[in-house]
Copies of this chain bind each other. A is one copy, B any other.
């Protein structure tokens, strides 16, 4: 922890009630100090070289491994509190660190070391008639605020990406992970200091007071971007309150459209994979659209696969008739189904007349996340790519590929449904900005 901030923020033992407390004026002063300190550290981070930032990361990996026992002990405190508080098993699972998770964190940091440094890269140079050369330079954004829930590994993953991209970071983890996060933040600060970088370049908001989140997202003078990693409730709250731009996504209502010109075997393989490879991910298909001319051929076979895997089907009248005729259960989909991200073994199915209706359905009901067409018709594919207004649009591939690693970004700070700045899977570049650099020889404007 960064000493001056700890001094302002009372410790858990002093204020066992603080989850409920509002901190009065002190919290605002504390957050202001965190912001000011981060802004100051951002300058040093932006001017640090690649070697120095990588050295901090390598040192962090070393310290994570060396602090295994202490990390497990801190995590046990969190787990004990969570168990007493009666947290759900899934939450406790996400909160838990074990030796494997600690090793994975260390390896993750080492992978970030290996990524190309985006900072300082100059590109798109062109010589203008005036004599000046105009180019662009990639630079850090400045201060990145990361708001997340129970997983303590996010503390390390997010800090590593922010350090690599030359930013200062303010981390606001879930209150249930506070003991684990404090120790992880200490290790990060120690690693930064060992590499000659400011300890304050990564700060943990050291209070479980929920009002701290509201203050963090209302400091545009200190924070350049907010990355929320959490459920829809958190993100909707932040969208209402934030004065700072966010890299966020709310829903992944993803579609696969099986075109009349699809290869049937490929269509079935992709529609199966997009739904059933993992149910809980944002790039999982939630609605299947099938072109009417091929529905009778494809839907019964696909239905059998889904039924065998226990996927509940909800269809429009045509889909239901086709499925029920071959003995596969399919309830009636409601208007709400088309808008729902199930994150579960449930799939809604609609038979559409063709491409135009499929595009219209996706642009109406989808969440602008990831949508795929299966077709051998090049013109249909081109139109789908162009007209579907989503962050990732695919031809003949599973929606499950919408992922920073699969896209070759090397790492992923989040996925964005927004159309500005960063869209789709966001890697290191999403934590950078671009400025114009102009090289002259004494040119003046006439």
Asked if A132 lies at the interface with its beta carbon under 8 angstroms from chain B, I say: yes
Residue on B nearest A434 in the bound complex, by CB: B423
Q: Does A397 contact B (CB under 8 A)?
A: yes
**Residues of chain A from 9 to 45 with CB closer than 8 A to chain B in the complex:** 43
How far is A392 from B439 in the complex, measured between Cα atoms in Å? 11
Judged by a CB distance under 8 angstroms, whether A300 is at the interface is: no
Residues on B with beta carbons closer than 8 Å to the beta carbon of A437: 385, 392-395
| Alpha-carbon gap, A391 to B139, bound state (A) | 11
A228 within 8 A of B: no
Question: Chain B's nearest CB lies how many Å from the CB of A429?
Answer: 11
Complexed CA–CA distance, A394 and B439 (Å): 6
In the bound complex, CA of A442 to CA of B397 (Å) = 5
The complex is assembled from copies of this chain, and their number is 2
Q: Mark A390-421, 1 if CB is under 8 A from B, else 0.
A: 11111111101110001110000000000111
Residues on B with beta carbons closer than 8 Å to the beta carbon of A266: 442
The reply to whether B420 and A420 form a contact with Cβ atoms under 8 Å apart is: yes
Give Cα A401 to B440, complex, Å.
10
In the assembled complex, the Cα of A419 lies from the Cα of B438 at a distance in Å of: 17
Partner of A406, one of B128, B402, B406: B128
Q: In this assembly, does A83 line the interface, its C-beta being within 8 Å of a C-beta of chain B?
A: no
A395 near B436 (CB under 8 angstroms)? no
On chain B, the residues within 8 Å of A274 by CB distance are: 444
A245 to B142, CA, bound (A): 19
How many residues on chain A are close to B (CB under 8 Å)?
A: 65
- List the B side residues contacting A387 at CB < 8 Å: 43, 46-47
Residues of chain B with a CB closer than 8 A to A425's CB: 436
The listed residue with most B CB atoms (<10 A of its CB), out of A130, A139, A421, A443, is A443
Taking the complex as formed, is A94 at the interface, i.e. its CB lies under 8 A from any CB of chain B? no
Within residues 197 to 231 of chain A, which ones have a CB less than 8 A from any CB in chain B? 224-225
CA distance A401 to B129 in the complex (A): 12
Which single member of B126, B393, B407, B444 contacts A269 (CB below 8 Å)?
B444
- Which residues of B have CB within 8 Å of A402? 436, 438
* 20 examples of A-B residue contacts, CB within 8 angstroms: A43-B387, A46-B387, A46-B389, A128-B407, A128-B408, A130-B406, A134-B408, A137-B385, A272-B444, A274-B444, A277-B445, A390-B435, A391-B435, A393-B438, A395-B439, A397-B438, A397-B444, A402-B438, A406-B445, A420-B421
In the A-B complex, the 6 residue pairs with the smallest Cβ-Cβ separation, listed nearest first, are A397-B440, A273-B444, A266-B442, A400-B445, A419-B433, A394-B438
Which A residues fall within an 8 A CB radius of B? 43, 46-47, 120, 126, 128, 130, 132, 134, 137, 139, 141-142, 224-225, 245, 263, 266, 269-270, 272-274, 277, 363, 372, 385-387, 389-398, 400-402, 406-408, 419-421, 423-425, 433-446
